[in-house]
Amino acid sequence: MALQSLDIKQRSATTTPSPQARQTMEIAKLIDVSACIGCKACQVACMEWNDVRDEVGSCHGIYDNPVDLTENSWTVMRYAEVEEQGKLEWLIRKDGCMHCSDPGCLKACPSPGAIIQYANGIVDFNQENCIGCGYCVTGCPFNVPRISKKDSKAYKCTLCSDRVAVNQAPACAKACPTGAIQFGSKEDMKDYAAKRITDLKERGYDKAGLYDPAGVGGTHVMYVLHHADKPNLYSGLPANPSISSLVTMWKGATKPLAALALAGVALGSLFHYVMKGPNEGSKEIEKEIEKEDAQ
């Protein structure tokens, strides 16, 4: 949902810069996986604040429900039972939009203003402008956007841009009973994470660290992981996410090059015509034919 109260940093399918005079603080949500008990209060808070409800599903033999992100479930908990060095761990990760600094969805989107990145870092979908092509799904390195079967619009976590715009923390952070979801300026969140990481290291998690992947320019949803060296343990969190080179190719060089090439062909044809002249019918042959006819 686009909000005029937030400055826009960039918008999809727009080649000119957005207003940049005002300086806005970058915000971030920090998900401390080491403090998450997987209660799903965040899921319910998300449903309630955003007024979205999935169908009542079924149990798939795991705790995950709904079992995947959908147009109505913008965040889901993913539960992974792993045994690290003989010690059982239940790694519970809140999955959802990471709000990349370099958002693949926005890059891929062909519709001007359907995806916007606010100056504070939130990447938001404006369903008004969404044409339902699903290119954002193709562009996302985290497999987050979902296209609604009902209206063919793309949906995902808005980081509660409507709440943030009025200085409120996202609904999930507000609802979290263990403090596993923190919200504030990105800088503060990094400081907070550093403290948590120090604590985790003291508790024997040598590889504890912050997940703020550089491959997408950093994210505005970050994780504190006990095993930052193995993000994959956390239900397949990508170790080095980046916008697929295919997408970069598609939305990067291809576009201007091809546009230029097309213009080249068009202009080339024109100038060929102008310079070489048309390929007129040969008078000689016409005469030959006339001659033949006369015979």
Partner 1 sequence: MGDRSEEARKAKLIVVDPRFNRTAAVADIYAPIRPGSNIAFFGGVINYLLSNDKIHHDYVKHYTNAAFLIDPGFGFDDGLFSGYDEVKRSYGSKDTWKYQMGADGFAKIDDTLQDPNCVFQLMKKHYSRYTPEMVNKVCGTPKDAFLKVCEIVATTAAANKTLSYLYALGLTEHSNGSQNIRCAAMIQLLLGNMGMAGGGINALRGHSNVQGITDMCLYAQTLPGYLGAPTDGDKDFATYVAKRTPKALRPGQMNFPQNFPKWFVSLTKAWYGNAATKETNFAYDYFPKLGGASDALSIFNDMFHGKVNGFFCQGFNPLASLPNKKKVGDALAKLKYMIVIDPLATDTSEFWKPHGEFNEVDPSKIATEVFRLPATFFAETSGTLTNSGRVVQWGWKAANAPGDSKDDAEIVAEIFLTLRAMYAKEGGAFPDAIRDLTWAYNQPFSPSPEEVLREINGKALVDLTVPKDPTKILFKAGDQLPSFGFLRDDGSTSCGNWIYCGTWSQAGNNTARRDNSDPSGLGQTLNWGFSWPVNRRILYNRASADLQGKPWDSSRTVLKWTGKAWGGNDVPDMRPNAAPEEYVMPFIMTPEGVGRLFSREIMADGPLPEHYEPFESPIDNNPLHPKVKSNPVARVYKADMEAFGTAKDFPYVATTYRLVEHFHFWTKYSQANAIVQPEQFVEIGEALAKEKGIKAGDRVKVRSNRGFIKAVAVVTKRIKSLEVDGKQVHTIGIPIHWGFKGTAKPGFITNTLTPYVGDANTQTPEYKAFLVNVEKI
Partner 2 sequence: MIRDPKDLKRYDAGERANHWVVGISFILLALSGLAFFHPAFFPLTQLFGGGTWARILHPYIGVFMAFFFVLLFLRFRKLNKMTDADREWLSRAKEMMDGNDHNMPEQGKYNGGQKMMFWWMTICMVAMTVSGVFIWKAQFTVPIDLARIGAVVHAVVGAIMIAMIMVHVYAAIWTKGTIRAMWYGTVTRAWAKQHHRAWYRQMTGK
Positions in the binding site for partner 2 (CB under 8 A): 13-15, 108, 110-112, 129-135, 137-138, 143, 147, 152, 244, 246-247, 249-250, 254-256, 258-259, 261-262, 265-266, 269, 272-273, 276-282, 285-286, 288-289, 292-293
Among partner 2, partner 1, none, what binds residue 48 when CB lies within 5 to 8 Å by partner kind?
Answer: partner 1
Which positions from 6 through 45 interact with partner 1, judged by CB under 8 A? 32, 34-40, 43-44
What six digits make up the tokens of 18?
Answer: 């957005």
Q: Which of 61, 86, 278, 281 binds partner 1 (CB under 8 A)?
A: 61
Q: Where are the beta strands (DSSP E) in 154-208?
A: 154-155, 181-185
Smallest gap from Cβ 227 to partner 1, in A, equals: 14
CB atoms within 10 A of CB 281: 8
> At its nearest, how many Å lie between partner 1 and the CB of residue 84?
12
H or E element that contains 162: helix 161-164
**Residue closer to partner 1, measured from CB, 7 or 188:** 188
Rg (alpha carbons) of the chain, rounded to whole number:
27
Strands 154-155 and 87-96: unpaired
39 is in an annotated binding site: yes
- Is residue 158 within 8 A of residue 50, CB to CB? The reply is yes
Q: Are strands 115-118 and 8-11 parallel, antiparallel or unpaired?
A: antiparallel
Contact 106, 8 (CB under 8 A): no
CB count in 10 Å sphere of residue 61: 7
Q: Is residue 109 part of an annotated ligand binding site?
A: yes
Give the residues lining the site for partner 1 (CB under 8 A): 32, 34-40, 43-44, 47-48, 53-63, 65-66, 73, 81, 83, 88-92, 178-179, 182, 184, 188, 192, 195-196, 199, 202-203
Annotated binding site for [4Fe-4S] cluster: 36, 39, 42, 46, 97, 100, 105, 109, 130, 133, 136, 140, 157, 160, 172, 176
